[in-house]
A and B are shown apart, each in its own frame.
Chain A
Amino acid sequence: MAYLNLSGITKQFGETVVVQDFNLDIEKGEFVSFLGPSGCGKTTTLRMVAGFEIPSSGRIILDGADITEKAPNQRNVGMIFQAYALFPNMTVAQNIGFGLRIRKEPEAEIKQRVEEMVSLINLEKHADKYPFQLSGGQQQRVALARALANRPQVLLLDEPLSALDAKIRVSLRAEIRAIQKRLGITAIFVTHDQEEALSISDRVVVMYQGRADQIGTPFEIYNFPKTQFVANFVGSLNTAVAEVTDTAKGLLTMDGIQLVSADNMENLHTGDKVRIAIRPERLNFVSEGRKANIIDCKVENITFLGSVVRIQMTVGNAKFNMDTFNRPSLELPKIGDVQQVTCSREAVLILGSA
């Protein structure tokens, strides 16, 4: 059995079902993200693991022990909050040592462990400062150290980076991941930011309306989205309606343009209307000799996004984006140009019937 097992978890607040039949196995040392829009039930699920909410039904098993109804202070889980939640009346060292003092560990051991933790987060110089004297990023690192000081069985992070500015967010995200790997701790990370989830996790659980829409590695989630919601929520996407013309060869037509897809069409029939999707970075301008997936388009707008240039275009009645790496030698089309773009068969995803 997995280290942490959530089976058949459902949570209702009155009539509202917030989490519905949620199942997940997490291995020891794994870093799993819950990704989804607000109200999708990701935080509620995390809070059930922490013990702040009790599931309406289902079980939570941690390292062989059923913790479903255990009080939060009887579980050995570390929690990190968006609002840092450091105790304002205590110094950094006292905050980190709080959990150990609660457990009545010997003072010498507490001191040693606190020192260890302070150096883990590189805040040796700030050990005697109060939280209000620290920056947001430093405070969140203290919160991380405080949660880890108790050697929790699971580390729970509830949107820990959302209150920080963009640069700190990226660097702290890397730091959290590095520390998690070094200590081999099992972690669940809740976020609404797909880039965050994809970059930090071993596996991502995309949640939508209280359900786990798709569970997979970041690579799988991004490249092989199983539902329309996942495809739309993770990364940006061009979608359009196409008609199936040949299920054996994987052929479709979209506004008279013939497309070929590598996706499985076993369950489809000729004449079915399906929603197809192509990621912006999978599109290229047509080079000579290409025959398949030639898409006529008209350039509408060009936007610089730093390392990436986004070209907005119209394809039939649909609006498509095409992303291309920004390099000095790049030859950009002009606005209003009529061009042809193309993509591989694998890039044409079939999301289901339209």
Chain B
Amino acid sequence: MTRIRKIPFWSWLWFVLGAIYFILPLFATLEFSLSMERDKIGLLAYTKAFEDKGFIRTFTFSNILALATIIASIILFVPTAYWIRLRLPEARRLTEFITLLPFVVPAIILVFGLIRIYGSPLDVPFTNIELLQPLTNSRFGTNILIVAGYMVLAMPYMYRSVDTGMRTVDVRTLTEAAQSLGANWFTIIVRIILPNIRSALLSGSLLTFAIVVGEVILASFLGVDAFGPYLFLLGQHLAYQPAALSFLTFLLTWAAMGLIQLFTGGQSQTVGAH
């Protein structure tokens, strides 16, 4: 009896300690953000933060970047994961390794690599014929670069969600059934595969969203006017507003997690790689 009781006690102890470790700083941030006015609990820091035009601009832009990243990731990863499941199962180890790379290679290395390669014009080898202007020279080019970078950062979550989602449906047989009914590859992916991995796509997308909206390194080194660098900059010369916005970002991430739980019926299909 005592043994059975002991285990929950220790589990609970560790759980509470862990919770304190996470919640305490968050609570401190919240408490600090609410005390902008002396001796008074209030939302002044929040109102001030929202009033700033920079907030609206950068936050909106980060949302657009997140959306672009999600769409591009789905377009790239769904057919890839599908094809590997269907025709190239021997490539799975390799892709699993690649999807883990963003955990091993820091974002700072990624961004310097991107700048080094796309910061100079792309020539046809051994000639002076220019194929591509440096992408970093234009705002549009930079946006393409940052979305590509975000796709890499979000790859572990997006690719693995998609792949796990496909494990739950009999991809091969459904494909063959659709083929024998006359469907081509595009139809199969759009009308059979995508709808059946909906919840996996959703959890991958929400995680991608959470990563992109708070990302600092890629955005600041590429000079993109995103929410991450804005928050960072704000923190350098203001005290209360950054705390308010950090707390909000946290809430947003948590809301995203909550949505995942809601839509996947509590069985999140994302396989955390850590």
Contacts and interface: CB of A to CB of B under 8 A. Distances in A.
A256 interface: no
Contact of A79 (B170, B177, B195): B177
A52 B198 CA distance: 27
A102 B195 contact: no
A169 B49 CA distance: 68
Nearest to B169: A88
By secondary structure, the B interface counts as helix
Contacts of B180: 50-51, 72-73, 75, 77-79, 147, 156
B13 to A, nearest CB: 42
Given A89-B195, A89-B196, A73 B179 contact: yes
B145 to A, nearest CB: 36
A147 B178 CA distance: 10
Interface string A17-46: 000000000000000000000000000000
Nearest to A77: B180
A153 to B, nearest CB: 12
Contact of A81 (B173, B187, B196): B173
Nearest to A87: B192
A83 B175 CA distance: 13
A83 B181 contact: no
B182 A85 contact: no
User: A51, A78, A98, A143: which has the most chain B beta carbons within 10 Å?
Assistant: A98
Contacts of A78: 180
A146 interface: yes
B184 interface: yes
A85 B174 contact: yes
Interface string B181-207: 111100100001001101000000000
B53 to A, nearest CB: 44
Interface string A98-114: 11001100000000000
A73 B184 CA distance: 7
A150 interface: yes
Nearest to B177: A85
Nearest to A149: B181
Interface residues of A, number: 26
A333 B169 CA distance: 56
B176 interface: yes
A139 to B, nearest CB: 12
A87 B174 CA distance: 7
Nearest to B184: A73
In which size bucket is the chain B interface?
10 to 19
Interface in A37-85: 50-52, 71-73, 75, 77-79, 81, 83, 85
B76 to A, nearest CB: 22
Given A83-B170, A85-B170, A88-B169, A73 B183 contact: yes
A329 B198 CA distance: 65
A52 B176 contact: yes
Contacts of A99: 181-182
B181 A85 contact: no
A72 B176 CA distance: 8
B111 to A, nearest CB: 39
A78 B170 CA distance: 19
Nearest to B195: A89
A143 B179 CA distance: 14
A173 to B, nearest CB: 21
B169 A83 contact: no
A83 B198 CA distance: 22
Interface string B160-174: 000000000110011
A88 B181 CA distance: 16
Contacts of A85: 170, 173-174, 176-177
A54 to B, nearest CB: 14
A52 to B, nearest CB: 6
B64 to A, nearest CB: 29
A79 B176 contact: yes
5 contacts: A52-B176, A73-B181, A85-B170, A88-B196, A99-B181
Minimum-distance CB pairs A-B, first 10: A99-B181, A89-B195, A85-B177, A79-B180, A72-B179, A85-B173, A102-B182, A73-B179, A73-B182, A83-B173
Given A73-B182, A73-B183, 19 more contacts: A51-B180, A71-B179, A72-B180, A73-B184, A75-B180, A77-B180, A81-B177, A85-B170, A87-B174, A87-B178, A88-B169, A89-B198, A98-B181, A98-B183, A99-B181, A99-B182, A102-B187, A146-B177, A156-B180
